[in-house]
Amino acid sequence: MDFNLSSEQQMVVNSVKELAENKIKPFAMELEEKGEFNMDAFKDMAKMGLFALPFDEKVNGAKDYLSYILSVEEISKVCGSTGIAYSVQVSLCAGGIDKFGSEEQKEKYLKPLASGEKIGAFCLTEPNAGTDASGVETVAEKRGDKYVLNGKKCFITNGPLADVYLVFAKTDKDAGTRGISAFIVDRESEGLSIGKIENKMGIRSAQVSEIIFEDCEVSAENLVLDEGKGFRIAMAVLDGGRIGVAAQGLGIAEGAFDEVIKYMKERKQFGKPISSFQGLQWIIADMDAKIEQARYLVYKAAMDKQEGKPYSVSAARAKLVATDAAMYVTTNAVQLMGGYGFMKDYPVERMMRDAKITQIYEGTNQVQKMIISGNAFR
């Protein structure tokens, strides 16, 4: 496997690093405390073309999935909230339309999502449909040339900000996973409203909410593929999303690692820098090895997707290992920094809180184990 970056990819990484350092990092703590989104950074990301990276020339993309994943990683080093907002927009909303949408749907919705002019969200989860995604209760009833949606989605990342929603609803209540269909829904659609804004443990700057559909009319032209294809669309789209979350986890782990190394070189106890104590060095070694493992699996999954190889299992492995690494590294970073690590003067406590959700969303890590072991026994 060759993970040597081309000069174009290195340029993308360098410019995203600069953006992250100057436009995201300085505001990350303040915005997370206020629960506000860094919209200015999102606008800068749009100007840089970051939302189009994995898509083709028709939407001014670079057809470079690895560069996109490297960008999620760089941004997440300083702010997990901006990292997931970016990943949801590109992987789950735009990515779904790119893979399964008609040419008309791509022209109307993918273009503005890829340019960053519009923000996207993915509406699968419901109060009674989390891990069992097939249990969605939102219904879409066909009436003439329209579908009428009724139901409630929850935990929707970008929910309050989005202009475009990729929504999964039942068109046949008795057909199990084959009774679910996917729709592209505009924010302005009558009958669509934003419900409760979630109050979260971490990624507090990301905007997450309920999305409510009350007799919400959607043109039949906005059905993605055919009726009954929605579950498979959701699963396939989530395979890509999981590489994004894995990159987010990797970035959070790397961000915490950099912080703790800097701290340990400066912090003195018993007359010496704490970096000189072997017990602590061994924790650093474990953190380093977990990050490197995660990095390989994340880039491998990204390359599999980029090269058109199957990537469900490599995405699940990457998500499992990278997000567990994020939790391990951030928890130990707090521990190594002692009382200072626990205080909000340093970013590692925020990183530890942000890391937790990466083990949960886009399929808990137990779901990733189901996918990996299912493949092993197939």
d(CA 157, CA 88): 7
Query: Smaller CB distance to ligand CAA: residue 68 or 346?
Result: 68
Q: Any contact of residue 177 with ligand CAA (CB under 6 A)?
A: yes
Outline where DSSP puts E strands in the chain.
120-123, 139-143, 146-157, 164-170, 180-186, 192-197, 208-219, 223-224, 268-269, 272-273
Q: Which of residues 92-111 bind ligand CAA (CB under 6 A)?
A: 92
Token reading at 100: 């399964």
Nearest Cα residue to 254 out of 10, 20, 9? 20
d(CA 322, CA 223): 34
Query: Smaller CB distance to ligand CAA: residue 126 or 186?
Result: 126
Nearest Cα residue to 71 out of 262, 256, 250? 250
* Residue of 122, 147, 213, 263 that binds ligand CAA (CB under 6 A): 122
Binding mask 228-267 for ligand CAA (x = CB under 6 A): ---xx--xx-xx----------------------------
Q: Any contact of residue 280 with ligand CAA (CB under 6 A)?
A: no
* Residue of 105, 115, 134, 276 that binds ligand CAA (CB under 6 A): 134
Token reading at 74: 């760089």
Q: How far is the CB of 281 from ligand CAA (least distance, A)?
A: 36
Segment lying near ligand CAA (by CB under 6 A), choices 120-128, 136-144, 215-223, 299-307: 120-128
Q: How far is the CB of 273 from ligand CAA (least distance, A)?
A: 39
Q: Any contact of residue 164 with ligand CAA (CB under 6 A)?
A: no
Token reading at 171: 């068109």
Q: Any contact of residue 119 with ligand CAA (CB under 6 A)?
A: no
Q: Any contact of residue 328 with ligand CAA (CB under 6 A)?
A: no
Determine the longest span between alpha carbons in the chain, in angstroms. 79
**φ and ψ of 253, to 5 deg:** -60, -45
Cβ atoms < 10 Å from Cβ of 84? 29
Q: How far is the CB of 15 from ligand CAA (least distance, A)?
A: 25
Q: How far is the CB of 87 from ligand CAA (least distance, A)?
A: 8
Q: How far is the CB of 107 from ligand CAA (least distance, A)?
A: 25
**φ and ψ of 120, to 5 deg:** -120, 155
d(CA 21, CA 75): 9
107 part of the active site: no
Strands 223-224 and 272-273 turn out to be unpaired
Q: How far is the CB of 310 from ligand CAA (least distance, A)?
A: 9
Active-site position among 74, 198, 259, 362:
362
Q: How far is the CB of 129 from ligand CAA (least distance, A)?
A: 8
Query: Smaller CB distance to ligand CAA: residue 9 or 207?
Result: 207
Binding mask 202-221 for ligand CAA (x = CB under 6 A): --------------------
Query: Smaller CB distance to ligand CAA: residue 12 or 166?
Result: 166
Kindly state the DSSP code that residue 196 receives in the 8-state scheme.
E
Query: Smaller CB distance to ligand CAA: residue 259 or 362?
Result: 362
Query: Smaller CB distance to ligand CAA: residue 315 or 348?
Result: 315
Contacts by residues 300-306 (CB-CB < 8 Å, ≥ 24 positions apart): 300/1, 301/242, 301/243, 301/246, 302/65, 302/66, 302/69, 302/243, 302/247, 303/1, 303/3, 303/66, 305/65, 305/240, 305/243, 306/64, 306/65, 306/66
Residues marked as catalytic: 362
Which residues bind to ligand CAA, rule: CB under 6 A?
A: 84, 88, 92, 122, 124-125, 131-134, 156-157, 177, 231-232, 235-236, 238-239, 312, 361-363, 367, 370-371
